Copies of this chain bind each other. A is one copy, B any other.
Amino acid sequence: MINVTVWGENRHEQLEPEVAKRYPNGMHGAIAEGIEANLGEAVTVRTATLDDPEHGLSEEVLRGTDVLTWWGHAAHAEVSDEVVERVQRHVLAGMGLIVLHSGHWSKVFTRLMGTSCTLRWRSEHDRELLWTVDPTHPIAQGVPHPMVIEEDEMYGEFFDIPTPDELVFLSSFSGGEVFRSGCTFKRGFGKIFYFRPGDQDFPTYFHPGVRKVLSNAVEWAVTVRPERTGPVLLRYDTEDFYNGHGYEGALDPDKQQEAQQ
């Protein structure tokens, strides 16, 4: 059983009637339904949004989350640094993370990538074709080659990300731009998938192919490690390879200082 938390910013749905009409259960609702439709009893899906206390991402929620999906756009800056750090810590300890579309510019993603995650864009009804360049990747199974999305926002290169560990999908747009649309990254003990399609102005999250990719990605992102603990800095005596000791807590600057003295 995979525990999935679908996080949605949920602002466009509140502010723009046409988005609310397009996504009557919210974009997060459409994403959650797509995953449930494909994975059925293999998943438990809950949703969380920006306006929930702690954005719905308390320590307890994250501890119980195998895979977190992230969609944000208009309010990246409103996400609290504390929650961002918490999400990062859980990813490094093994939680899967799927970053969707405009989530490329979220604090969570830019912090995990270390780059600006900028790109070129245009919202003008381009047709998107999504091509598979890694046909043996689990995330690409059962996905048309190419997948046709009749209308979507355009994202184009240069996309300022670290070189992905695996490049799974490339998109072209009717205007001629190209984009690395499906990318995997390992960070710490966590697996991250960035997936480009999806926009508040288009019904992308009802597209069966997009839903298939999201569902494959959920299954792929679950760690095979048995426990939720992050990498630590430890001292090891000569010939004692298994019993590290010393300071822990890599992300706490106060302890970092002590640890290596």
Please give the residue numbers on chain A whose beta carbons come within 8 Å of chain B beta carbons, in ascending order: 73-78, 88, 92, 94, 102, 105, 107, 110-122, 124, 126-127, 129, 131-136, 138, 141, 144-146, 148, 156-160, 162-163, 165-167, 170-178, 180, 185-191, 223-225, 230-239, 241-242, 244, 250-251, 253-254, 256-257, 259-261
Interchain CB contact under 8 A, B120 and A132: no
Q: Bound state CA distance, A102 and B261, in angstroms?
A: 11
Interchain CB contact under 8 A, A124 and B250: no
Q: Bound state CA distance, A160 and B145, in angstroms?
A: 15
Q: Bound state CA distance, A159 and B233, in angstroms?
A: 9
Interchain CB contact under 8 A, B177 and A131: yes
Interchain CB contact under 8 A, B136 and A157: no
Q: In the assembled complex, which residues on chain B have CB atoms less than 8 Å from the CB atom of A233?
A: 105, 116, 118-121
Q: In the assembled complex, which residues on chain B have CB atoms less than 8 Å from the CB atom of A102?
A: 260
Q: In the assembled complex, which residues on chain B have CB atoms less than 8 Å from the CB atom of A178?
A: 129, 131, 170-172, 178
A7 CB to closest chain B CB (Å) equals 17
With A162-B185, A170-B170, A176-B174 already in contact, the answer to whether A116 and B251 are too (CB < 8 A) is yes
Interchain CB contact under 8 A, B174 and A188: no
Interchain CB contact under 8 A, A122 and B237: yes
Residue of B nearest to A259 (CB): B105
Residue of B nearest to A160 (CB): B231
With A170-B170, A225-B141 already in contact, the answer to whether A254 and B132 are too (CB < 8 A) is no
A200 CB to closest chain B CB (Å) equals 10
Interchain CB contact under 8 A, B236 and A122: yes
Across the interface, A170 reaches (CB within 8 A) one of B126, B138, B157, B188, namely B157
Q: In the assembled complex, which residues on chain B have CB atoms less than 8 Å from the CB atom of A133?
A: 157-159, 180
Interchain CB contact under 8 A, B174 and A231: no
Interchain CB contact under 8 A, B162 and A187: yes
Across the interface, A187 reaches (CB within 8 A) one of B74, B115, B187, namely B115
Instruction: Count chain B CB atoms within 10 A of each CB in A116, A171, A223, A254 and give the residue with the most.
Output: A116
Interchain CB contact under 8 A, B135 and A158: yes
Interchain CB contact under 8 A, B156 and A236: yes
Interchain CB contact under 8 A, A76 and B253: yes
Interchain CB contact under 8 A, B77 and A257: yes
In addition to A105-B250, A144-B242, 7 A-B residue pairs with Cβ atoms within 8 Å of each other are A114-B187, A115-B187, A129-B176, A129-B241, A133-B158, A145-B241, A163-B165
